[in-house]
Amino acid sequence: MVLGDNRSLWVRIVLPDSSSYFFHLQELEGTWQRPHGFIQNSTFLTHQEIQTVLRSVSMLRTRDLQWKASEPLMVQFQACVRGFLLRQRLRQRLLYLNSQLPAVLTIQSHWKRFRQQREYRCRLQYLYQNWRAVVKIQATVKMWLTRRRFLARIAYFRTNVSVTPLSKTVGAVIRIQAFFRASRTREEYRLLVHSSAPPLSVVRKFAHLLEFGDNDVRQEAELLRLRQEVVRTIRANQQLEADLDLMDLKIGLLVRNRVTLQEVVSHCKKITKKNKEKLSDMMALDKHKGLKALSKEKRDRLEAYQQLFYLLQTQPMYLARLIFLMPQNKSTSFMQTVIFTLFNYGSDCREAFLLLQLFTAALRHEISVKVDRPQEVVTGNPTVIKMLVSFYRHARGQNALQSILGTAIREILEETNLNIRTDPSLPYEVSVEEALSHPEVQQRLNVSILNLKKLTERVLSAIISNTHRLPYGLRYTAKVLRDALMEKFLQASEDEIYKIVGNLIYYRYMNPAIVAPDGFDILEFGAGSALQANQRRALGSVARLLQHSAALKPLPGHAPHLDALNQFITDTHKRFRKFLCAVCDVPEPEERFNIDEYSETLILNRPVIYISIGELINTHKLLLEHQDCLCEGTSDPLQQLLQDLGSVASIQELVGEGHLNPTDPNTEQSSAKMEVSLTLTSKFDVFKSCDDQTDSKGILLSTKQLIIDVIRTQPGDTLSEILQVSASRDQEVQHGWLMEKRAKRDAHTPEKMKRNQSLISDSNLTLQEKKRKIQRNLRNLQATGTLRKHDTHAHVLQIIAQDIRHQRVYRQRRQAELVKLRHTLQSLNSKSNFHSEQVDYYSQYINTCLHNLSQANRKKMCDTKGKKKQLTLTYTAARLHEKGVLLEIEDLPLTQFKNVIFDIAPAEEDGTFLVKARFMGVDMEKFPLKYQDLLQLQYEEVSVMKLFDKAKVNVNLLIFLLNKKFFKK
């Protein structure tokens, strides 16, 4: 159907005289009369419509042809008009700009300045964001320039060789000169390193190595940051582990006593909020309050504490004696908190050296005082060895255990089909002889023994081949243990001594990690996962066989099938003996850490420790309690420091009143955990007990710096000659240029990394003034005995040469320590993530228990009509006394107990009850009773507690009463 077709059969035709004729399309007939119901057919066009369409199309066509014929003329006309209008507007704009030329220039300059500044800021921000890449590019460019100069030098050598006789001579001379200079430089450096008295020319040539450059500043700042981060992360992980243990304990108590878990939930929330930023805020206490208040009294106490802990850090015998003056349970806690905190868990080479000195001093002291037979070291569980193993297993040796044993243990756990059972009589009614009489049993037993040997050999090979991976401190302690036992027990055989060393290295340090790798982070396990029974059995069998091999102890029993294992134990023991000899073959700590009596003078930043207020107070109390045994007399440095400190300060005095909330019942406990940073300083020389030597240390440091400044500017064969000859004007100018360059470098150095203020002030002196000050200082150092009187100049040059050698080694050691600290921090963060998974795992369990218990309590708190009711227990004191809950009330006889009424009602907080006391109808006191506190007292076996500071109650019976009345299902 055509669009718009109404299918009408009539058509109307209008004639010229305006009359209408109606035509029927189907019948082909017409009429002049209008038919009934006429509708015009919509598909037919009339004559007029056709004419109208034709006329409109013809007119449009005619108009288009006319426009096309005149198009060039119209375009030209339009172009002329537009050009005229544009030139008119341009002329007006030029007139306006010419009249406003000063303003235009000003706007253009401001806009150019704005664009340039914006580009500069964007470029600067881009460089700040990519400073590492910038440094790398600069280093690459510097390397390229140096290489280009080197290649140009090589090309120069090659150009002057084999061209003409003259060029041959020149080339030979150049090579000879270069070889001579290189040989002389190597010889001079060899003199610096190996000679005890290097000449002044050698010291002058390498004195620039003592300068502290930009790279040193960056690395020192990063090293300081990483050390602080490692210490804070260790302390955060320890606190998190302690809180997780407390959560585990509370969950057990709540499940056993069927009580609400709301308090544990709040404890869990507290743990999850304890992040590193919160710990950093706790360390950064308000310096205007507490121990760091800006007052003379507080400052003196702060300095006394800093000097006290510096003395304890550098003199290990004080702490070594203090450990044995305390009970073993207290000494372990003291060691794990205060001592490890004092040495920052050995995170620095210096602190690792001092901590190792403490371990070895305490070990020698314990062997000399407490050990009567060598075997007591194995059977007596010495305190020092237990602490030593715990430290190097968890803090400093965990990565070592993982790298030594990880691969071997993983391979053992993957061997799921190996049979290693060596007991032929699994059914108890069958004897060993009867079982061995069967060939099948013997065959399976031989296969099991071969498998056990194979697995044991795999672990043993991993241990022996990774001797170098053992912590140095553990190896050196093994050496000290061997030497101390040999020195005290001359009659003991060497084999017996090495068995004791093997007990330390293998049984105490490695064996627990083999038996339970999931407990020592040897392998990664998710939260809630554990080893299977057959895997633990395999690891236990391997560890047992290695234990017998280390001690050369045959397996119990006389069965024939054990002969092969006993022979394997004998052969393995020989390999263990060589392994233990290699373990004890280590250099001394002074050589390992490159530390001598002058190392403290090379420390750029004074050591800093982070210790809690509670640990600081407890340490002070212990030292005061045992000062008679620790101090040798009134002149003892520790005795003098304790006199300066006086009595133990209170928490309020050390924390500050502004940090305490008197309405909080946990104020004292929480404030005791607040940490404070102590920048350790020395009141006494750690090498010489004379007070004059303490002052001479600073004088010596200043003198060395002055001598270096002088010899780098003024030539001379000896130091005496340089100090006596006056400086020329050119030398003064050169010296001023060096000092200006150093001042610019110091201006860009962070505040924590800046040199001593006295050294900075010495830089402002002229060359002649520095010479006079050097001579004065040398006379003072001679008088105090710091320098030798007969060859003072040679002695001070020896010390400077030693500083140059140590500075080079220190830079290498610092670079290695940065890598180690980054790896340690990464491992600590992984451990924190694992603890977070444990928190989530506990939280899911707690939420489930909380939901179930809340449903039960909700049903109990509603009566039969569904309305809530408040359950309140009301007892007289006499009734509670009959039940055994109430034991006594101070100053009140039993005859008056009937007049005392106790009301016990649940409080709004879950797990808390409100106890009200009334005497003869008069309200007396209210006491909030926390159910969790009762469970804690019960766990600690405390049978009696006080209510209202007067009424003594039986803890167990009170718990029973609450369980019966409030929590009975």
Q: Which of 802, 833, 860 is the last residue of a domain?
A: 860
pLDDT of amino acid 606? 66
Establish if 357 belongs to a structural domain.
Answer: yes
Pair 851, 939 in one domain: no
pLDDT of amino acid 643? 82
660, 673 Cβ separation under 8 angstroms: no
Pair 414, 524 in one domain: yes
List the alpha helices (DSSP H) in 466-491. 472-488
Does the structure show a pLDDT above 60 at 832?
yes
Amino acid symbol at 587: P
Confidence of residue 258 (pLDDT cuts 50, 70, 90): low
**Which residues is 611 bridged to in the sheet?**
676
Does the structure show a pLDDT above 50 at 8?
yes
Position of tokens 């969790």? 932
765-809: per-residue pLDDT in tens?
887 788 888 888 888 887 777 777 777 787 877 777 777 777 777
pLDDT of amino acid 684? 57
pLDDT of amino acid 259? 40
Establish if 224 belongs to a structural domain.
Answer: yes
Establish if 464 belongs to a structural domain.
Answer: yes
Confidence of residue 752 (pLDDT cuts 50, 70, 90): low
Q: Which of 572, 589, 606 is the last residue of a domain?
A: 606
| Type and span of the H or E element at 744 | helix 729-747
Confidence of residue 633 (pLDDT cuts 50, 70, 90): confident
CA distance 923 to 960: 26
Establish if 58 belongs to a structural domain.
Answer: no
**What is the pLDDT averaged over residues 594-615?**
64
Pair 923, 844 in one domain: no
pLDDT of amino acid 148? 93
CA distance 759 to 868: 78
**36-40, 64-68, 78-82, 740-744 — which is least confidently predicted?**
740-744
pTM of the entire structure? 0.48
CB-based contacts of 754: which residues, under 8 Å, 6+ apart? Answer: 746, 760
Pair 599, 517 in one domain: yes
Angle at 499 between CA 495 and CA 505, to 5 degrees: 140
CATH code where residue 545 lies: 1.10.506.10
**What is the pLDDT averaged over residues 407-426?**
72
Mean pLDDT over each residue of the chain, to the nearest integer:
75
In three-state form (DSSP H/G/I as H, E/B as E, the rest C), the secondary structure along 645-704 is HCCCCCHHHHHCHHHCCCCCCCHHHHHHCCEEEEECCCCCCCCCCCHHHHHHHHHHHHHH
> Which of these, 503, 515, 569, 527, lies nearest to 405 by C-alpha position?
515
Does the structure show a pLDDT above 80 at 335?
no
User: Would you give the DSSP letter of residue 336?
Assistant: I
Position of tokens 């193993």? 389
pLDDT of amino acid 275? 38
Q: At what angle do helices 296-314 and 349-369 cross, to 10 degrees?
A: 60
443-476: per-residue pLDDT in tens?
777 777 888 888 888 888 988 998 888 888 889 9
Confidence of residue 119 (pLDDT cuts 50, 70, 90): very high
Helix (H, G, I), strand (E, B) or coil at 423: coil
More confident residue, 855 or 401: 401
CA distance 268 to 369: 46
More confident residue, 375 or 257: 375
Pair 952, 824 in one domain: no
CA distance 934 to 967: 15
From the CB of residue 621, how many other CB atoms can be counted at a distance below 10 Å?
12
CA distance 227 to 233: 10
CA distance 289 to 144: 55
Confidence of residue 850 (pLDDT cuts 50, 70, 90): very low
**What is the pLDDT averaged over residues 700-708?**
77
CA distance 745 to 75: 74
Two structure tokens written together for 398: 């965990």
pLDDT of amino acid 221? 76
Extract the runs of DSSP E, i.e. beta strands, from 84-128: none
Position of tokens 């009970």? 327
How many Å is the maximal CA-CA distance in the chain? 156
CB-based contacts of 245: which residues, under 8 Å, 6+ apart? Answer: none
Confidence of residue 534 (pLDDT cuts 50, 70, 90): confident
pLDDT of amino acid 693? 41
pLDDT of amino acid 437? 63
Pair 880, 946 in one domain: yes
pLDDT of amino acid 142? 93
Residues composing the chain: 969
Q: Which of 606, 631, 664 is the last residue of a domain?
A: 606
CA distance 166 to 950: 113
pLDDT of amino acid 118? 93
pLDDT of amino acid 334? 65
Domain of 597 in residue numbering reads as 349-606
**What is the pLDDT averaged over residues 888-903?**
84
Confidence of residue 287 (pLDDT cuts 50, 70, 90): very low
Strands 944-947 and 912-919: unpaired
CA distance 863 to 417: 61
More confident residue, 596 or 251: 251
Pair 577, 698 in one domain: no
Pair 829, 921 in one domain: no
More confident residue, 879 or 610: 879
CA distance 1 to 476: 108
Of the chain, the percentage scoring pLDDT greater than 70 comes to 73
pLDDT of amino acid 604? 45
Sign of CA dihedral 950, 951, 952, 955: negative
16-28: per-residue pLDDT in tens?
787 888 888 888 8
CA distance 154 to 261: 80
Confidence of residue 552 (pLDDT cuts 50, 70, 90): confident
Establish if 408 belongs to a structural domain.
Answer: yes
Pair 880, 901 in one domain: yes
Helix (H, G, I), strand (E, B) or coil at 786: coil
Pair 734, 811 in one domain: yes
CA distance 896 to 919: 9
Establish if 846 belongs to a structural domain.
Answer: yes
Establish if 480 belongs to a structural domain.
Answer: yes
360-372: per-residue pLDDT in tens?
888 888 888 888 8
Helix (H, G, I), strand (E, B) or coil at 900: strand
Pair 498, 555 in one domain: yes
CA distance 53 to 70: 26
Confidence of residue 146 (pLDDT cuts 50, 70, 90): very high
Pair 907, 796 in one domain: no
CA distance 101 to 104: 5
How many domains are contained in the chain? 3
pLDDT of amino acid 15? 81
Q: At what angle do helices 533-551 and 494-502 cross, to 10 degrees?
A: 160
Two structure tokens written together for 794: 């040679």
**What is the pLDDT averaged over residues 903-917?**
79
Establish if 454 belongs to a structural domain.
Answer: yes
Angle at 665 between CA 297 and CA 943, to 5 degrees: 120
More confident residue, 305 or 76: 76
864-876: per-residue pLDDT in tens?
445 555 577 888 8
